[in-house]
Structure formats: C-alpha cells, structure tokens
Structure 1
Amino acid sequence: MYCNLPSHLPAPRYLLLHWLLGLAVLFCAWRPSSPQQKAPDPKPVLPGPQPDGRVQLPNQWSLRPAGTQLELGDFPVNMALHPTGRWLAILHAGHSEHEVIVVDTQRRRITCRVPLEQTFYGLCFSPQGDRLFVSGGEFAVVHEWQFEDGLLFKHHAWPVAEEKSNFVCSGLALDSEGKTLYAAGVFGDAISIRPLSPQGTYHLVSLPENSHPYAVLPDKSGRRLFASLWAKEAVAVLDLDNKQVVATWPTEKHPTEMLLSPDGKTLYVACANSTKVSVIDTETGKGLETLHCALYPAAPVGNTPNSIALTPDGKMLFVANADNNNVAAFSVAERGQAKPLGFIPVGWYPTCVRYNPQTKQILVTNGKGATPLANPQGPQPGVPAANTTRQYIARLFRGTLSIINLPDPKQLASYTRQAYECSPLRPDLGTTGQRDPDNPIPAKVGDPSPIKYCIYIIKENRTYDQVFGDMPEGNGDANLCLFPEPVTPNHHKLAREFVLLDNFYVESEVSADGHEWSTAAYCTDFVERIWPLTYRGSPKKKLSFYPSEGEKDHLARPAGGYIWERCREAGISYYSLGEFIATGKTLKDPGRARIKSLEGHFDPWYRGWDLDYPDVKRAERFIELLRGWEEKGEMPRFLVMRLPNDHTAGTRVGAWTPRAMVADNDWALGMVVEAVSRSRFWKETAIFVVEDDAQNGPDHVDAHRTVALVISPYTKRRFVDSNLYSTSSMLRTMELILGLQPMSQFDAAARPMYHSFTAKPDFTPYQAVRPQVDLEERNKPTAWGADLSEKMDLTKEDAIDDILFNEIIWRSIKGANSPMPPPVRAAFVFPHLKNDDDDDDQS
C-alpha cells in the first residue's frame, strides 16, 4: 500500500465517496520524509518512550498505538467477537499459561479467564452466541463452553482425531446452524468434520503431506469448505457432501486467515510470508487481484499480513501487519478494484484484527504489547524461579488489546502519517543514518568498498551486562556482570581496541527466532507462533521439534531467503562453519547441510552445536582452513561461523563449568581474530560478532541488548559507538560491503554501522589474551544445580528450562548463597496504556 491514490474512486454510496476523497486530500498532501535528512541525536536513543510520544523498539522501529489499550496475557493470537458485539473472546498461546480471556467491550474490562493446558489459534462462537469453541492443540480435541453474560461454564471436549495421531488442532469453524464443527489439523495434514451430537463421530479428510492447514471457512451455501494451506501457497476447497478435496487455488506464501465477502463471491486470504492479501473469485477459483499491504510497493517481505477483518457491508478491509506494527485499510467496495486508504499504528506485533459493527470500533490484539522492557530481575541468585519467571524474556511481554474508533478521513490521515514516522524504511530501500563521504561502508548496494571479506561469527545467548557490565567506558551494570574481564579478556580487549557497542540489540527472543533473524533479518509467522509452544514443553511430543535453522524449512524459510543465498544471487563466494549444519553424531562422522543452498559450501568437519566440544578446537579448525585459503590466495568472501559454547552446559557433573566454557569461547574468539589479523586477507577483512539472542540473562537497559563486536583495519580504534543498532544493522552493513540486496524490510531499513568505521585503516594485528581461569575446570557433584543440570537436554538449542538454567549459571559463578543484586529498573512506562478497571472478574 502506498499514498498515491487514483483520481477516480468509484463508490456505490455518497458517504464512502466523501470518505475516500477527504482522505485522498489529507493523505496525499503528505509524503514520508527521508530518515537520512534527520540530524543525529546528541544523546543515545534507548528503547522505551521518547519525548515525541513514540515508543522506541530495540529493532529500530517504533510504536505509537492508536486508541486505548487493555493489558492481556501472554501472546494473544486470535479473537472471536460475540454476535451481539458486547463480548470479545481472546485466545492466548504464548510461552507461559495458555488461556481464553473474555472482554466486555462496553465496559472495557476482563470478565472471565479460563486456563488451557495447550491451544493453537482455533476459536469461534456458535452462530447463536451461546457456546464458545477453542482449539485443544496437541490433544486433538475442541473445547466447548456454554457462554452467558461474559462468563464461560459447563465444559465439554469434542475429540476431532486420535490423540496419538500427529493431529494438532488449529483453526475452527461451525456450519450456519452450529451443528457441525470443522477443525484444521495444522500438524497431521487433515481436516476434521465433527457432528456436535453424542452419537456422532469425526471424519478426517486427508491433505497432501506438508500442507499444514491453518484455518477453515465454510462458504455461504454450506456445501464447500475452504482451508488455508500454510505451507502450500494455496487454499484447498472441500466438497462437504463427498468429504473430499475438489480444488486447490493458488495464493501468496503462508496463507492464514480467510474471509468471505457478504455475497460469498469473493475470498480474501491473508498471506503472512509475503507482503500481500490474495483475493479470489469463489466461483472460478481465479485470482481477482492482489493487495499490497506494505508501507511501500517495492518493499521486500517483512510486514507479515497475518489477519484480516471486513466491515459487515463488505466495503472496508483491515489487514494486521504483524511485523510493521500497523493495520492497513482498504476500500473494497468495488469488486476486484480495491483502493488503499491508509494505515493505523497499533502495538507490537499485531496478531489479530476484528471489526465491531455495534460500536464501530477496530479491535487489535498485539502479541508483544506496547513497550519493550528491561529485565534486571531475570533469573538471579537466591531468588526462587517462580519469582523471576516474569522477567525471563520468553515470558516478559504481555499482550494488549487496542480499541480504536473507526477513524474519519482526517484522523486516518493523521494515523497514516504516524505509521510512516514509526518506520525507518525508505521508499527506495536506501540506507538510513549519517555517513561521511569517504566511509568504507558504501552508501548504496553496488558502490565499491576497500573491504572485500566478511567473517560473521554467531555466538549464543548473552546479554550486554553479563559480559560488558564491568566496562566503565559503556552503559553497563557491574552488578549484573557474570563473566568479567578475567573470564573474557578478548571480548574486553577487542571492545577497547576497536569499538565498544553499548546500544546494540537483537530482534529475537530465543534461539529459534534468533538464528532466523541473524541470517535472514526476518522471522516468519510460523516460527513466531510455534516457538513458544515448542519451548514451553510439548505434552504429547507432537511439537517437540526445533522450528529453525533448516528444520521444518518448508514452513520456517523466509520468503527473502538467507544471506548466503543473496551471496549466491550476486556471484559472491560463501561458506558456513557450523551454521545451519547438522553436526555428525561422533567426531568421525561428517556434518551435513540442513538446507540445499549450503550443500557444497560448508566444512563437514567443523562441529556446530555440540557443547562437549571446545570452541578452541573450532578455532583451530578455522585456522587450518585459513592457512589453506592463504596458500590458494583466496578465501570465501562471506564466511559464517558458529562459536556456541558461551551457552554453557550449566553445572552438569563432569562438564566444563560455565566460567570455563565462556572463557573457552573467549579464547577461541581471540584466536580467530589474531589469525585473521596476521593473514594476507586482513587488509580487506571485517569481522562481525553477535549473539543469536539475549534470552539467557538480565540486562538493565533492555531484554534484547546483547554482546556485539566489529573488528577490521577500517574499524575505529578505542571508540564507543552508542548509536542504536540491531542485528539487522550488522547484516545491512555486510550486504553493503558485498553488494547484496536486502532480504527483508528490516535489513533494508536498518541503520548501517557507519559510525563504527573510518576511512583511515590501522593494519596493526591483534594479539589474543589467554583467559585468567582454568579452561578445564569441571563441575563437581556438589555444584549447585548439578542434579538439575544432569536432567537437561543440551543436545540441541534451547531444549531446556532457561529460567532454571540461568539460576544454575549465576550460582555457579557467584556462589550458592550469593545475594541478589539490587534491581535497577529502566523507566519504561508507556503513558497511553489504560485499564478501565483495576480488578477483573474471573471465573
């Protein structure tokens, strides 16, 4: 969507014509200004509320939610509006408690909340409004409650598949009489048709493998059922008389929610791994048009249109852009000729949008709420896990409900202006931020750079304060520093000799989305919605997989691909050492590429994730390869390397202690940098170091702030760069060096790290420093948490309780009875949040 509206706007009603013309005058008179024209801020911009009323996010975008906000639970994913418009049911499926919340839309208060063992997306009222149906997730059931006056009661569970099957219940729908239930098996590749009678039983309609049906929707006749196929770029059409698939209609990537026009002739499909909504003729199955929902027509993937809503007359369509934190509005009064109207800024990661015709309000659930948070009270010593759970990053963010009056043209123009101001993205995808004319980082893709090689090192799960909190040069809190300079001398020396980055953030929450953001500058809706379920524990083991790094690639893969695939497109050589590589079972077994684009472009003998293998040995393997490349006179221009041992193995008996593992990681990093700095490639090389996520510990500024380094002859020396950067900034910087197009809206919009570089190189080599701790220090049976560590599965990333794991690490460093450091809370108070009532009724 963009602001140049057609001059001729046919509308069947005078009111709509007046509305559109008024908006066109107000909206098109304004153009978003270029971020490059802004003068740099004299003070560092930190996440949280800003003087102009925006809330700065760690990913360089910002929030200014319209309307009023009601705080909800953990990760609201779907809403169902009661037929009267008075009540709103909201389903939550995050990392912590799953639940259904009922909101009174008149009084704007919660009237009821019911916990669930597990759920996934599915939610609907009966046509009469006397019953509510909710997905039972892995248990292959649909929960039914009687509903009256805002309360849920008299529960019944309807089986929709064999519990022992792979069926995981997702989207739900009922027929027009409320007598037949339809349930999508997002895992299990089937649609369940279930008569709602004690004598009835379910019938499964099988779909092709890896279809992953997400939502279901009966047509107006009641004889067909539409199912969005999350992984197939298609909608399946089921004949309900014969209970079989009779057609498959193409859509854009990741079709999720669907809606029918009031006459049933037009099907709208939100396609979350694209920028678009597919519009289909339900009589022919042919596409009528495609609606671009991003801020600019040329924008790559990144806005994540995952939910849609229509006004009852079918004339206005609202689209929730999850990763752009806004709702796009279209006039769809004339079939096949939609007109863009504008954008409405909402909260962080809007997962669902609905329209209430009774109150003429737009309702939006924001999965991550309205403001970022610091987590100084993350898992800490001497504090029971239950008291610090709320500041584990996977549970840190509470969702919100935005309640927005339907705007008139003037208000929508104002909202649209705000939505653009909250985005750093430019219409030409040009770079943002200030740049000196002779800066070695190019101003645009294709311009020359004296830097030829990029080495990208991805580590595991540390916050800034955990490592650099003891550095007085930066914005750290020494009370939260677990691994100070004696343990991490190379991190500290590199930060001092080159650039200390004390305002650098990851976009991710955990490793599952972290490795996607670190290599693609984007994380699909599949990963965002699935990782909370896989991390919280899979009761039936149907979701006990790791949804990232090439696993479930048919669903997890971003539409814009990964950075090495951009290298391939540009003819740039690339190589992986451990990233997206399945490690061999033993040291004698070679690794294998998890995705096709890395086949032939990785070292099978470099071990990726294996916490029983020292990072120092990984460094030695790299140095061996480096010497071979020196003999040949060339090395891959893009090299991604994994150094994972700062994750640690807790206090598992016989394993290296957390201090030893972090020191091993530090020593390995120093070895790598020293070897490169003494090689023939140093004069043309830049080394970038980042953590995949920051989930494993506290930070006094923001839960996403992390350890990052840039090391090059062209890096400034003995310099503190407090510009707001994120992982996407690092990716954008490497893309500019290598001449690569951005992969998503996030690297396209990210501020390149111009301020960390200089045109005057210093070719002085680096001298690594051995940590002042015993690298072979082992955990003893008496170590605090040894018995708990022994039970943890460390064979794959984040397959453990990180809250407890953090407490084990802290106590192993600070002592079993060490006191908790006093919390320092950042002033992240969002002034526009509003709860009408202090106390909520519960059932």
Structure 2
Amino acid sequence: MKKLFFSMFLVTCAICQSYAQKQVSILEVPGTDKYCIITPHGTSVLPSGRFVTPAGDFVRITHDPFGLSISPDGKKAVTLHNGVITLIDLATMDAVRVPSYDKKIVSPILDGSFLGVAFAPDSKTVYLSGGDDGAIMVYDTEKLQRTDSLSLNGKVGGKDYQDSFTSDLLLNAGNNELLVLDRGNFRLVRFSLATKTITASIPAGRQPFGLSLSPDKKTAFVANVGMYSYPLITGATPQNADSIMISHHPYGNDTKESIEGTVVEGRKIPGVGSPLSPEAMSVFTIDLGANKVINKFKTGYQVGQMIEGAEVVGGASPNSIAVGTQYAYVTNATNDNISIIDYKNNKILGEIPIRVDNRIDHYRGLLPFGICLSKDEKTLYVALLGFNAVAVIDVPSKTTTGLIPTGWGPSRVKLSADEKELYITSCRGFGAGPNGGKGFVRPPQGTYIGDIQLGLFQKLPVPDAHRLAGYTSQVIGNTFLTKKVDIDPKNPLPALPGATATPIKYIVYITKENRTYDEVLGQLKNANGDSTLARFGVHCEYTLPDALRVKLPGLNVAPNHIKAAQQFAFSDNYYCDSDASIHGHHWMLGVIPNEWVEANSNVDKTAKLFSDAPGRRFPGSTGSMDPEDYAERGGLWEAMERSHVNFYNFGEGNETAHNREIWTDTLTGSGHLVMVPMQKALYPRTSHNYAGFNTNIPDQFRMDQFESEFTKMWIRGKQTMPALITMQVPNDHTADPRAKDGYPMKQSYVADNDLAVGRILHFLSRTKYWKNMLVIITEDDPQGGVDHIDAHRSILMMAGPYVKKGYVSHTHANFGAILKTIYNILDVPYVNQYDATGTLLTDFFTDKPDFTPYSFLRSDTRIFDPQKAMARYHNVIDWRKIEKGPDMDDEEHERSERNKDDKN
C-alpha cells in the first residue's frame, strides 16, 4: 500500500510539473481526424477511432463467429455463428456459408446456436450446438446436409431434464462421446454416440460457458460465467404473474437485501445470495471416471477485493480454458489476466497479467476470450476481444511477448496441428461501413447494422520474434498514441481530469434510442450529411412514400433537434461503439461489453420463467446491466461514487431481460417478476418515479415526471443539483403505429422524442444551474437507421453557455470521448482503456459564455399530437406553464448561491 501511495505521489508531482510547463501528455485514438472507412487491404478506421490491419490472409464471413473448429486432417475450418456455419478451405481460403444467401444450401440449425462446434475424426462430420432447442446437430460438411439431431432433454438418473439449452461442446473420441454444456440446466452432459443416449448429467455452475478436457481425458473443465440463479417473486405463478410484479429493481447488488432477500411493495423478494458463491463465476473440475465435481475454483479477482486502489465490483468472468498435462489456463475477461490452476494438486497458483503497454496497463479493457496452448506448453495465444489483437504469452516467465493484429473483436484462436499456422476469428471484422445513401449497393445479407458488418477469419504463419515485434508495434499504433497538448486554462474542458479549473459544474447526459446521424441531421449545412436519408428532419416529406408526400407537405419531424444543433454544437463524425441497445447501454455508461454480453446478445433464446431449468431465466437485459456484465471497477456510476461526486439517474438501468412494459408501468417503465439486482452505486441514486424504456409511455409523460422531480428536489428543495444527471428519453426508438394514442406513424415517436428534447433544454436553460451547465445528447446505438458514412454514425449534440454556438465538430468522437469529457470536467479518474484513449473534444467549447436560453418548438400535430398521447393519463398539457419554465428563487437567494459557488 505504501508503494501504491508513493507511486501516486510521483505521478501527481509529474502531472503538476507538466501543468507548470503549460503542456501535458494525453492518450488518444489514432483516428481523431478521420471518418470511419473500410479498407480491407489497407487501414480501416473503426467507430472507436482505432485502426485495424489484420495480419496474414483473411476472408470475410458472417458476423460474430463464437465457435471455431479445425478438421483433424488440417484441410478445413468451421466457424459457428447464430444459426449459421461457415466452411473454410484452409488452402484456398474459400468460404461457404450455410445457409447460403440464395437459400439453396439450408441451415442444419433449427433455433440458433451457441459456441459449440467439433469435428469428428473423419474430418467431414461436425457436431454443432443447437442452442435454444437443446440439441446437438450432426452435419455432413461434404454433402451439406444435417444427418442427425441429438436431444439433451430426458431422464437421467431418475431426474427429468427439460428446456435444455446447448452451449459449448467437444468430442471425446476415445470414448466415442460428446461432452456438452447445458446452460439451461446448469450441467455437463455426457452423450454416447454409439447408443445415442445420455450417460451422465453432472452439475456445473451458473451459465456454463467454456469447456475443455485434460490431455489424458480424465478431467473436464467448465468455466461458468453466471453470477446468480435469478429467482421469481415468492408465490409467483403463471396465473398471478401480471398482478404480482413490482415496479422497480428489488435491491442493489451485493447488499444485505440482495443476499438475504427483502420485501418490496408488499411482495416477499428472495435474495440471490453472495457473489462469492462457489457456483458464481468459477471453474469446475470434473472427474470423468466418477462423474463428480472435484473442485470449484474462484479464478481472478473477487468482488470486494481492493485491487490497485479500487474495490472490485464485477466478477472475473472466466470463460475459456486451455489445459496442459499439469496446469489449466483460464481467461478472466474482466480482470485482463489468466488464472493458472494446478489441477493435479487442486489449487490455484496465481494469475498471469496480460500487459500490452505500460501507458495503459493499469486500465482494464483487453477482455481476454479464446485461448490455446502450444504443445510444449510454453506459449499461450489469447484473443483480446477488447483490443483487436491476439496476445502471445510466454508461460514460464508469465510475460506478454507480443501482439498480433486482428479484425474488430477477436473471439477465437487456434493452432494448426503442426503449429506452423494460427487461425483467428473476429466478431466484426472491418466494421459496418455505410448502409445507405448515393451509390450504396445493398449486399445479400441486408442493411441492418448487425448483418452488414461481417466477421473475419484469418490465417497466418506463427510469427517469429522479429515479425512479432513488428506486429506488436502495429497493434499499439492502431489503438492509441501519446499526444502533447497545451494546457489552456481558458478552455472549459480540462486536458486531463482536474487539470485546470472549469466553470462547468453540472452535466446532464441524455441518451435516446437507435438513430443514425443522416436520418435526423443529414440535411444540415456545413456538415457531412446525406439529405436524401433525412427521414426524421424538417421539411422531409421527400423521404415519405408517394401516398403520404402530398398529404403531409412541409412535414417537420424533429424541429428541435435541428434548432438545437444550429443554436449550439453538434458532431458529424460521432459513432456509437454499439450495434444494439444491449451493447449501447453498456458502452455509454463506461462498461465495455464482455464476452458473455457479446455472445449472449447474439443468440436466439426463449425465456421460460416458470421452468425447472434455472438458466431459462437467463440474464440478458437490453437497457440495464446484469451482474454478469459488470466490469472489475464498474463504470460511470462507480467512478462517480469513488470520487465522491454526486449523481442522479432518470430512467437508465430499469430494463431487465424479463420485464413487462405496458402503458401503466409509469413509475420506472417496467414491471419486474424475475429478481435481478441493480448496480449498488446506482440503486439509491435512481428515480423510482421516472419511466425508462417503454415506448407505450409518451416522452411527454417523462417530461412531466422529470420537471416535477427536478423542481421538488433542486429548485424548491434544500438539495443542490448533483454534478451529474443521466437521463433516458427513448421514444425515438419508434414502435408500431398507434393512431388512437396519438402515434399514427412511426415518425410520430420521433416527433414525441423531439418535443421532449426541446422541453428538456427549455426547462434546464431557465434554471439557476444553467450558467454552469453542460448538456450532452446522444443515442445508445444506431441500429434503427441508415447512414452514408457508416452504420454506427449517430447523434452527438452539446448545449450550454460554454458550448460554441452554431458549431459543427468534424473531430472523431465516440462513447469514450463523451466519458472522457465527463471525467475531465468533474475531476474523476478514467476507468478503462476506452475512456483513457478517447478523443479530447476541446473544439466544442468556448471561454466566452452565452447564457441565452433555448426555446422549444411544438410538434407538427399532423404526425404527433401530444395532448392525444397524454389523454389516457387524463393529463392536460399546460403549454403556458411549460413555456414559462421553472419557478425561480428570489434574487437574494440567487445572490447567496452565487457567492457560495464562487467560494467553491
């Protein structure tokens, strides 16, 4: 601890010295002045501002290849995606997609697939995870047809297992059997191929994910990524489920209530137990001779530990295992390290930290996933999902000897039998690229962001030391660089957290849902937009079908977005790192989606809440974070709490996997039956009277809730507005038209959202806090729209007195850049590598404040009538009151508050 404090003292002194010299070093992504572009045989620019330049030969394949197997004869590879497999000829690198886009080759998989793929000794038969249907598909790769389907359901040892969900699998050829993980029933299944029967069912931990086998075939290893087995409200039945739900999360994670249970709204709520349970985020070793669990290892760092000065709040997420003759090596995604298990002596020997560069090694974000071990057991190859590289690790010295460049989001890595070649899969390859606009040609997979961005399969020679050194430099240069910047005490955005004083004391961070740049702001001048895609702008009737074009002349869908962008500042080079909401609400709140989030979000799955299979109440939220998802140090919430910076949340974090969303769920937007904890830091600081995601509730209802609560607490109340407010305004997500409720078109939801954004700025700019405020407006993901630059390009607007007026930023930005902005202003240390290397957005700001308030524009009632939308709540909108804004305190009170602020 003394060493840690001394190191921190030296760093502080060094920073102070740099400030005195009027210059400081910061880290940024290399693409700060570039727009996203795909250049397969050159340098591609990702939404993060990072570059990718994959090594070796490659072929683009379907997105998200989470399973990989190489045939015993070394001639072909099979990658497994959700409902898709790709057959790759390793000599020619030709790829065949199954099913083919023309449907002539049909899929062998019925209901999605998850992780597991293994070749038979004949090198033509493969066994595939059937995922949701709880089966193993047997497929002939030469005849391109399914030959069998083997179910995991049925009785074993007197117990009837149903609702199985096939996860990872491997072939134990000596026994002519398959070892299969069933994430539905939390077990390992032994399946005899000779008799086509289940010979054993052995308990595993929660959400079994990764599977491996010792060289002597006597010990199986199961990596469990689940934290809890999520219970229902006590007494819940299919008949009373709708009436027994509670209106919000039941408790904060790792609290007395979450461990032991509690009572909420008169309902008895079971606890989920301790995050340190042996079944939670652990590795089970199983004796295949006795069909018994030998040991339950808790790998990586544990919740509650103090690591490098911060309390661990997220589990290690052990996910993949490579096994040698004495030791097993386990990738802990959250901790950026590898645990060493001496399975012969049943003990953990410690961890191998993955070190890539001393400038960022103290941050997390590598996310080690797939792993393989050389035959001499001296070298590990590890796919770094968060770093676009494969790490090469020397086992005897426990050091990272180099990095190999991959595509975006590497998932699996394998060695050829002769160990001369490496095979690597990446989830998102070169990124998405444009999915609309002039000259765009629709590809066979479609234009949805999750489909248009293809994965990648790489083949390359195992690099020698010289080649590896070159690769390593390439990876680092692709990812971040050090930049010397002048300390500008006048700019309201400090170059580093707390580096200079700033007049900005309050930040309101607003997220909306699913829109791209072009479809909302594409018609704005002096910016890189395509007006032909601006279906949600103003005077945008030209984007409507012919039948509506004449009917709705001069249609205005988002006049407040256009007005606010022109009055304040916006970016035409901003990208969501996310593809969909499940990723977006992680990224925007400073938590990089781990391997569980990525894989689980890309598989078809059916919830069965009253099943005896606990895994059917799976975690997998879209608008909140589950305990399986937490980062080691958490994200934005935990960073604020550690630095004693006050915050409050409206709407984020309410949407769990199995929640109800109907128009009467107005308190938080949700009804909850399956009990899932909320982040401990967030739970006491989130509103239970503001509706999160639920498109059945008008955004105008949310505005009434927000204005009422804000006024009560921070205008009329004794409390001061928190330094950070997070806020979700989700209806631009759109939904099916509901004319009777005031939504005759999909555009109606965007118009509702636009009016809400206008009202927020109108309200805030008339409060006493406006003079020291920054408002950041963005989207959680861009999946609902099209864009001529990149399908990830989205909306970033900033507003406030110290934001430049009428400004268009062409500087690259993403969630990392937004979070860096927040952390720098509020003097909060960065949490992960994406924060630390995010673009510094000083160009948005000015030292010459303009306190002019914003005045909202009413909606075009032809497509959205707010009064009609609010009628079912018997609420009459008082426009005069809304236009007047909040009641201000008297002059004497304002003067007193101003004096307090000056002293602080």
- Do they superpose with TM above 0.5? yes
C-alpha distance in 2 between matches for 1:216 and 1:481: 48
Of residues 430, 451, 475, the one that matches 2:528 is 475
Change in 2 beyond 3 A, CA 1:141/1:487? closer
Question: Partner of 2:509 in structure 1?
Answer: 456
Change in 2 beyond 3 A, CA 1:266/1:368? same
CA RMSD after TM alignment: 3.3
Q: Is 2:495 the counterpart of 1:443?
A: yes
Question: Partner of 1:831 in structure 2?
Answer: none
Change in 2 beyond 3 A, CA 1:724/1:168? same
C-alpha distance in 2 between matches for 1:55 and 1:737: 32
C-alpha distance in 1 between matches for 2:491 and 2:170: 57
Cα deviation, residue 452, structure 1: 1.1
Of residues 98, 112, 127, the one that matches 1:133 is 127
Q: What aligned pairs does 1:360-509 form with structure 2 within 5 A after superposition?
A: 360-376=420-436, 390-424=446-480, 436-447=488-499, 448-485=501-538, 486-509=556-579
Can you list the C-alpha shifts for 1:772-806, whole angstroms capped at 9, x where unaligned? 444645999xxxxxxxxxxxxxxxxxxxxxxxxxx
C-alpha contact (below 8 Å) 1:78/1:121 kept by paired residues: yes
Question: Partner of 1:822 in structure 2?
Answer: none
Cα deviation, residue 236, structure 1: 0.3
Cα deviation, residue 401, structure 1: 1.0
Q: Is 2:775 the counterpart of 1:687?
A: yes
Of residues 195, 200, 204, the one that matches 1:203 is 200
Q: What aligned pairs does 1:219-238 form with structure 2 within 5 A after superposition?
A: 219-231=214-226, 232-238=280-286
SS of residue in 2 equivalent to 1:400: strand
C-alpha contact (below 8 Å) 1:301/1:745 kept by paired residues: yes
Q: What aligned pairs does 1:113-262 form with structure 2 within 5 A after superposition?
A: 113=98, 115=107, 116-117=109-110, 118-127=112-121, 129=123, 131-145=125-139, 155-162=147-154, 165-198=162-195, 200-208=197-205, 211-231=206-226, 232-252=280-300, 253-261=316-324
Q: What aligned pairs does 1:799-818 form with structure 2 within 5 A after superposition?
A: none
Identity %: 27
1:155 maps to a residue whose letter is T
2:114 maps to a residue whose letter is F
1:503 maps to a residue whose letter is N
Change in 2 beyond 3 A, CA 1:167/1:716? same
Cα deviation, residue 363, structure 1: 0.8
Cα deviation, residue 690, structure 1: 0.5
Question: Partner of 2:898 in structure 1?
Answer: none
Can you list the C-alpha shifts for 1:283-329, whole angstroms capped at 9, x where unaligned? 22333342222523534221111011222222221111112110111
Of residues 706, 711, 714, the one that matches 2:794 is 706
Of residues 820, 829, 832, the one that matches 1:732 is 820
Change in 2 beyond 3 A, CA 1:100/1:38? closer
C-alpha contact (below 8 Å) 1:500/1:719 kept by paired residues: yes
C-alpha distance in 1 between matches for 2:601 and 2:285: 29
Can you list the C-alpha shifts for 1:312-364, whole angstroms capped at 9, x where unaligned? 222221111112110111222x3xx3232111111111111111143711111
Question: Partner of 2:375 in structure 1?
Answer: 312
Can you list the C-alpha shifts for 1:85-132, whole angstroms capped at 9, x where unaligned? 222222122xxxx22323222232236846222211011223564642
C-alpha distance in 2 between matches for 1:110 and 1:416: 29
Question: Partner of 2:874 in structure 1?
Answer: none
Can you list the C-alpha shifts for 1:372-399, whole angstroms capped at 9, x where unaligned? 4111079x9xx9xx98861111211121
Of residues 376, 381, 389, the one that matches 1:326 is 389
Question: Partner of 1:349 in structure 2?
Answer: 409
C-alpha distance in 1 between matches for 2:867 and 2:117: 48
Can you list the C-alpha shifts for 1:668-718, whole angstroms capped at 9, x where unaligned? 111111221111111111111111111111111110111111111111111
Q: Pick which of 650-659 and 364-373 moved more.
A: 650-659
Question: Partner of 1:24 in structure 2?
Answer: none
2:653 maps to a residue whose letter is F
Change in 2 beyond 3 A, CA 1:623/1:590? closer
C-alpha distance in 2 between matches for 1:589 and 1:469: 33
C-alpha contact (below 8 Å) 2:432/2:449 kept by paired residues: no
C-alpha distance in 2 between matches for 1:475 and 1:585: 39
SS of residue in 2 equivalent to 1:422: helix
Q: Pick which of 598-607 and 698-707 moved more.
A: 598-607
C-alpha contact (below 8 Å) 1:351/1:366 kept by paired residues: yes
C-alpha contact (below 8 Å) 1:84/1:358 kept by paired residues: no
Cα deviation, residue 505, structure 1: 0.6
Cα deviation, residue 159, structure 1: 2.0
Change in 2 beyond 3 A, CA 1:558/1:534? farther
SS of residue in 1 equivalent to 2:174: coil
Q: TM-score, normalised by structure 1?
A: 0.80
C-alpha distance in 2 between matches for 1:242 and 1:580: 44
Question: Partner of 1:99 in structure 2?
Answer: 84
C-alpha distance in 2 between matches for 1:194 and 1:39: 50
Q: Pick which of 503-512 and 286-295 moved more.
A: 286-295
SS of residue in 2 equivalent to 1:444: coil
1:395 maps to a residue whose letter is D
C-alpha distance in 1 between matches for 2:867 and 2:704: 25
Q: Is 2:70 the counterpart of 1:81?
A: yes
Question: Partner of 2:366 in structure 1?
Answer: 303
Cα deviation, residue 741, structure 1: 2.3
C-alpha contact (below 8 Å) 2:74/2:416 kept by paired residues: yes
Change in 2 beyond 3 A, CA 1:677/1:573? same
Q: Pick which of 606-615 and 411-420 moved more.
A: 606-615
Structure 2, unpaired ranges of 5+: 1-23, 100-106, 155-159, 227-279, 301-315, 539-555, 671-676, 869-904
C-alpha contact (below 8 Å) 2:113/2:130 kept by paired residues: yes
Change in 2 beyond 3 A, CA 1:483/1:107? closer
Cα deviation, residue 546, structure 1: 7.4
Change in 2 beyond 3 A, CA 1:502/1:552? closer
Question: Partner of 1:267 in structure 2?
Answer: 328
Q: TM-score, normalised by structure 2?
A: 0.75
Change in 2 beyond 3 A, CA 1:477/1:156? same
Question: Partner of 2:708 in structure 1?
Answer: 624
Question: Partner of 1:770 in structure 2?
Answer: 858
Change in 2 beyond 3 A, CA 1:267/1:757? same
Change in 2 beyond 3 A, CA 1:667/1:37? closer
C-alpha contact (below 8 Å) 1:275/1:300 kept by paired residues: no
Q: Pick which of 433-442 and 483-492 moved more.
A: 433-442
1:45 maps to a residue whose letter is K
Cα deviation, residue 247, structure 1: 0.8
Question: Partner of 1:677 in structure 2?
Answer: 765
Cα deviation, residue 218, structure 1: 2.4
Question: Partner of 1:614 in structure 2?
Answer: 698
